[in-house]
Structure 1
């Protein structure tokens, strides 16, 4: 009997799904073991913050050069290379004998994670471009599912007394295996061709604008992840429901992402962005205007639904800019988005210190309002063929 083979675009789809899922699981593995690192080296809160910042620093500094490498080599090749680097950094993370060597590995972990992230998103844009339906939001949804599975499995391993170093080595082996299996199924990026300098300069300017919108989106998203529990406890006066703030927002994100591709196919990118911004804005306004616990939870759910498809939309828009490789464009947008994710919670904390958390969260409303009002206009301009 003749062996059935997957259609040409189906295999890259499944390969991309596996890459996103493993990326989410790996990041969750690091997240749940942050207290392990603290206890192992008896770190103060300040030094623990340095360790966490090292991962983000590695990613932000390396993001743009990595984007150029993706443009030069192709996302399929960089996925293969970065998977091995990501696997090595993950496996080494809990094997270092002292904090300073661990800090070096954390920076390397951030760089390898950024390379893997940019390459798999560029590959996703290539797969979507050759497909009859969107896929980007679903892939980001699988990243979230990977995070939930990684956190759950990791928690179980901790309760069973499995040594952290063994958990990280096992995770590194899994990354390498998925990379080896997925790499042959990925497809080469379309070549940009001879670049018109005017078109490239035009796209470069639009890229900064898209990146700024992504920055605003991640300011809002980062603030929601870090401050929802405190808002419920201190402003809505409900310690019992405080832990549900994060879960409600994350649930909205998951539902929004897994329905996002179908909505984008039906509404189009511009309408979906406007609707997403309006839904998110309605949610945060509800939570701020009526600080009752259940009203806040409903507001956080709507914020999750609104934020879910922002980054996928911005990545797809960046990948379509004329005269630029998808990997380079996505890297530039991702770099600004990472900065927003870092700055958002800190900025909210600074304003809350002087004016209260409820007023500080108005910054989240302003960020999402800007996207709702101006985002569609910017993307329409970005997606308009250059003269």
Structure 2
């Protein structure tokens, strides 16, 4: 059975994702779709709007056959580390191909860009150092450096978020000597960061989340932008827990941790560098909400995303010593369909990593950051549901869609 791999967050699963999934099957000729999905916290340092279990159900109803979790230490990282972890997992489960969405939409341009960057590292890095000295953030310095050395219209625009990820997926495939064949699908209508609905059927996950947070106070419909099952699962989650997760829910916990920590203790947390710990504490003393806190902390040097990731690592007490980026050591199975089950039965003797279906039967230190992240994620749930959710991480079997 041929399998195509997708790297996803599905926050939440929407019509654009459905288009990507269908195009991935068509381009690759695959019979099985395998998604490696970020858990409860995402690459931009944000909590997912609903839990990984609810998003797994969305994925299975949307046409994915197997959902695997991308571990916390890869899921909450810069594009290069995020991509390395995801590609390694998809390779280990036997995917024949990987299909990603991009603003460019032409896989040959990605190959050209990887080759170009391989031959231009000296000038690229020199330009990054030059721009860093002007006080801009590292991602901005990378973008400016690439724009300065790029003389070809055939190269991929590495200022676009999905192009950046696609570039790193291809690099990871090459560096890991994976046999997976890469494909790309051009994003339709909505840009990644669009906050407003700009077409009849396709909207960014950002604009959908914004509408959902607004709908708590007023009626805002997302029906035309998401499959019916996604809509049902979002509504069901809110009815059950009374919450769509966002940073504001977690700010009191973050504020408490910052105000009871000493600067030298914060310096042990991953990504806390260059004295930003003092700025974080000062902002926590004066900020009533997360938005205000972020606006106080943000500088030209530190992007919003990087500060969110720092805050997340403080929230989960993730130390520098814990974030060691080797390859993933396990495959965490979150859900599957009948088709996915058939694939796993055929492949189980050939998997490159152990397949974990229940944590209660798997003991390994590498999975502890995911357990801790799941518990932190559940802290904002009401009453007894919080404790049930703590235990769910150990007791929940993979979701099976017949």
TM-score by length of 2: 0.30
TM-score by length of 1: 0.31
> Which structure has the highest helix share of the two?
1
